[in-house]
Amino acid sequence: MVRTIALLIGAGFVFVLGIALFGTISTAITDPAPETAEHEFHHHPKDAGLSSAGLFGTFDKQQLQRGLKVYQEVCAACHSLKYVSFRDLEQIGYSEGQVKALAQAWPIEQPSVNPDTGEAATRKNIPSDRFPSPYANEVAARAANNNALPPDLSLMAKARHDGANYVASLLTGYQNQPAELLRKFPDAKTPQGLHYNPYFANLNIAMPPPITSDGQVTYEDGTQPTRDQMAKDVAAFLAWTAEPNLERRHAAGFATVIFLLIFVFLTWGAYKNVWRGVKH
């Protein structure tokens, strides 16, 4: 009796779910959602061709160092990197002395307290410090950016779909609104103070174009600092800040696969050896 009641209740749930599913599909067919500018004109990120992409990706340390320079001279004025310490830069090829010098020369200093007066003060960065924020707090950040809060970039390459490619595409994607967009969606005109970018989710972004021209930074290794090159380099750097252990993870995964293949082969051999005298 209990089993019968349980079956009836289960069948009732299935029936109700079936009706709901049918209603949803029917509505989608008879009354589809209206097209939006975001759906039609949003672009998927372009492939930046970074060496860290793919199952066997590795970081190009020279490119990471160039990306750091782009971050320092272009992005650091607005965006923080609060989960990265200066000493972490040793992983991308800098020596201990270079890290110390870079930390001390960083234009934004660490908040501190004057030991003599107890008043707020600043001090130079040391390798164990994390990259300092350009703003004292969120209120100051919004006040300086027309009430838009610049996001921290430490994990940006993980926070966005196809993160590193997204960053590179976004930085080079600023353009005028297409005439076709304004013709089909007259109300979708970019609001005052925003900038059209088809790689941004809602097409309009508060951040002005950060990379405006070739040669905006000077690379010490002689690489030509074109807009595309600078965008790719800082995207590679942010891919590293989001996942600095990527190379070790790839190596561990490859070793695990090799171990499993050997284990399967040995297991198969043991099976054949144990059962070879048994007739099927």
pLDDT at 32: 55
What span, in angstroms and rounded, lies between the C-alpha atoms of 195 and 173? 10
Does the annotation list 161 as a binding residue? Answer: no
pLDDT at 120: 82
**Domain CATH number, residue 76:** 1.10.760.10
Lowest mean pLDDT among 24-33, 106-115, 169-178, 209-218: 24-33
Query: With 60 as the cut, is the pLDDT of residue 138 above it?
Result: yes
Question: Is residue 206 included in any domain, yes or no?
Answer: yes
Going by the DSSP 8-state scheme, the letter that residue 226 receives in this structure is -
Q: The domain containing residue 228 runs over which residues?
A: 37-84+130-248
Going by the DSSP 8-state scheme, the letter that residue 205 receives in this structure is E
The full DSSP string for 66-113 is HHHHHIIIIITTT---TT-BGGGGGGGT--HHHHHHHHHH-SSPEEEE
> Who's near 112: CB < 8 A, 6+ residues apart?
120, 121, 122, 123
pLDDT per position as a tens digit, 32-44: 556 788 888 999 9
Strand partners, 130: 85
- C-alpha separations of 161 from 40, 67, 188 in Å: 18, 20, 24
User: What would the mean pLDDT of 244-250 be, rounded to a whole number?
Assistant: 91
Domain count, the chain: 1
State the chain's mean pLDDT as an integer. 90
Question: Is residue 224 included in any domain, yes or no?
Answer: yes
Question: Is residue 263 included in any domain, yes or no?
Answer: no
pTM score, whole prediction = 0.84
Does the annotation list 250 as a binding residue? Answer: no
What span, in angstroms and rounded, lies between the C-alpha atoms of 104 and 138? 25
What span, in angstroms and rounded, lies between the C-alpha atoms of 92 and 244? 9
pLDDT per position as a tens digit, 98-129: 999 999 999 998 888 888 787 888 889 999 99
Question: Is residue 5 included in any domain, yes or no?
Answer: no
Does the annotation list 1 as a binding residue? Answer: no
pLDDT at 91: 96
Nearest Cα residue to 236 out of 102, 58, 72: 58
User: What would the mean pLDDT of 40-57 be, rounded to a whole number?
Assistant: 92
Does the annotation list 79 as a binding residue? Answer: yes
User: What would the mean pLDDT of 12-27 be, rounded to a whole number?
Assistant: 71
